[in-house]
Structure 1
Amino acid sequence: MTSSSLLLSLLLLLASSAAGLATAARDDDASEHGLTHIHIYLHEILSGPNATTIAVTQSPRGGNATFGRIGVLDLEVRDGSDPKSSELLGRYQGMFAFAGLVSPPSGLLTTVNFVFTAGEHDGSTLAVLGSIPSFEDSFERAVVGGTGAFRMARGYCVTTAVANPTPVSVVYEVDLFVKMDA
């Protein structure tokens, strides 16, 4: 299996993840804890000349090994799941590394920034860090900081694949729960 095929397979596993909690329940939880809820969508292109996720180094272990593989991503952040009818709000840029020797868990470590270039949060960023322990469920990572309106932010980010992924693309629903120091 080629490295692109392996990466595609891993991302499709992620895309088949189960739905998370209902948005209403999350909003109630956010309000109760003084968190701002931001609901957005990520649009990822998995292959072809416009791919938005690529592996830049392969595992030094060779073959189908993932340990040591490093990649980068630059996805669209939109206000809806349909790329043709939703507004582009910014970019989701970062890197990932397969840091686990044993699978499962995958050992996929991510560090990304939500870079808002339009809408209510234009000019601000949020930094998200954490591992993806399972490709079968929604996954949660920590919001560890930000700039602009999100200076000194902290919180968490829940990501869930939505709709049916294709071999070429996948859409993720993202719920950010953010608290800023007053």
Structure 2
Amino acid sequence: MAMQLMQSTKEDPKEVDEWIQKLHHAKEKVSRLNFYFHDTLSGKNPSAVAVVEASTTNKSPSSFGLVNIFDDPLTEGPEPTSKFVGRAQGLYGSAGQQELDLLMAMNFVFTTGKFNGSSLTILGRNAVFHPIREMPIVGGIGAFRLARGFVTAKTHILNFTSGDAVIENHVVAIHY
């Protein structure tokens, strides 16, 4: 079994230093992306698993204190069979005591197309039951070096029994 041990921009430190030296002449780009991630907690092969919970989590209306790790597929459309574009990898923890507010720390890792090998890092609040949630882009690698911007997330499907969800993401990334 072969595994990629780390993600790389395929540039050695000298090439990165040369890129930084030219940065003051570089023009910012704005990339707009739209894709779906499939967060599956049920079945034989879940893409998200609970790793920590507080002693009071089961008594909480919002699962306060529950932390999940995830490695969710990203696709062009909402169907699981839609074209695969990458993975959403990270963790989310239930940080709201009264409503389901998640603290999201994740990377959108792109494995196809012009952003293959690049990723965006997102860190922010996801108020799950709000129709549209906005989270900040705090960085990136590859084509998204020094990225900033935001992601709006909209629930496409949420199964209350299994916890499985399909989330539509609109990304506005400013980068060099």
Same fold (TM > 0.5): yes
SS in 2 for 1:120: helix
Q: Give the alignment of 1:34-49 within 5 angstroms.
A: 35-49=30-44
Give 1:68 shift.
2.2
Give 1:82 shift.
2.0
Q: 1:98 corresponds to which residue? A: 94
Q: Which runs of 5+ in 2 are unaligned?
A: 1-28
Which letter does structure 2 place at the counterpart of 1:63? N
Distance, in Å, in 2 between the alignment partners of 1:176 and 1:123 is: 17
Q: Which runs of 5+ in 1 are unaligned?
A: 1-33
Alignment partner of 1:55 is 2:63? no
SS in 2 for 1:60: coil
Conserved in 2, the CA contact under 8 Å of 1:126 and 1:146?
A: yes
Give 1:112 shift.
0.3
Distance, in Å, in 1 between the alignment partners of 2:115 and 2:125 is: 26
Q: Percent identity?
A: 32
Does 1 or 2 have the higher relative contact order (CA < 8 Å, sep 6+)?
Answer: 1
Q: Tell me which protein shows more helix as a share of its residues.
A: 1
TM-score, with structure 2 as normaliser: 0.74
TM-score, with structure 1 as normaliser: 0.72
Q: 1:5 corresponds to which residue? A: none
Count matched residues. 146
Q: Tell me which protein shows more strand as a share of its residues.
A: 2
Q: Give the alignment of 1:5-154 within 5 angstroms.
A: 35-65=30-60, 66-84=63-81, 86-100=82-96, 102-104=97-99, 106-154=100-148
The CA RMSD over aligned residues, in Å, is 2.2
Conserved in 2, the CA contact under 8 Å of 1:46 and 1:167?
A: no
Q: 1:108 to 1:44 in 2, by over 3 A?
A: closer
Distance, in Å, in 2 between the alignment partners of 1:48 and 1:87 is: 22
